[in-house]
Chain A
Amino acid sequence: GENVEQHPSTLSVQEGDSAVIKCTYSDSASNYFPWYKQELGKRPQLIIDIRSNVGEKKDQRIAVTLNKTAKHFSLHITETQPEDSAVYFCAASITGNQFYFGTGTSLTVIP
């Protein structure tokens, strides 16, 4: 089955700096890659996603890039704010019915 690896496991940045989280996947058939943000004790919330026919997608301060050849995708957060502090999960899906999640990145934005 698919295997998704996520790095780093923890990340601390100063407010206003950028944060980058990277994921790799193993199955070239994966075609949908969502990113979820999870605050402590809360549900994972979809923040951005990208499909395999697109190389980059941006939504305000958040962007995701996909390199199908290298089988990796990244989340970029610019101008970080304290409220960006959370655990971020990447995921990959082939069928759309089963998602394989990374182990998460705990992001701390230091005011």
Chain B
Amino acid sequence: EAGVVQSPRYKIIEKKQPVAFWCNPISGHNTLYWYLQNLGQGPELLIRYENEEAVDDSQLPKDRFSAERLKGVDSTLKIQPAELGDSAVYLCASSPPGPSGANVLTFGAGSRLTVL
């Protein structure tokens, strides 16, 4: 079974440029998460989708970050414009339907962003 697929794995851009990250979750997983991980820290949740609906986006900086999951499968996270402080790893995870406390999240390898 294919895992959670993310692209690109690495991205280097100049500040004020836009950037987008793509995530393909495990087939059948209706819940999708985007996490941000700064160097030396644990991952922090940005947004959670149940199918195509964003059910928790309270930690997403909406002035420059946006996300979509139009058909309830793939998802895209966008930053426009990027700032130096956005340099981090962006992780996507997915989990299957069912009682969420017992659901295992599977993570992708992450997309490492460097803003110069």
A binds B: no
Binding site for B on A (CB under 8 A): none
Binding site for A on B (CB under 8 A): none
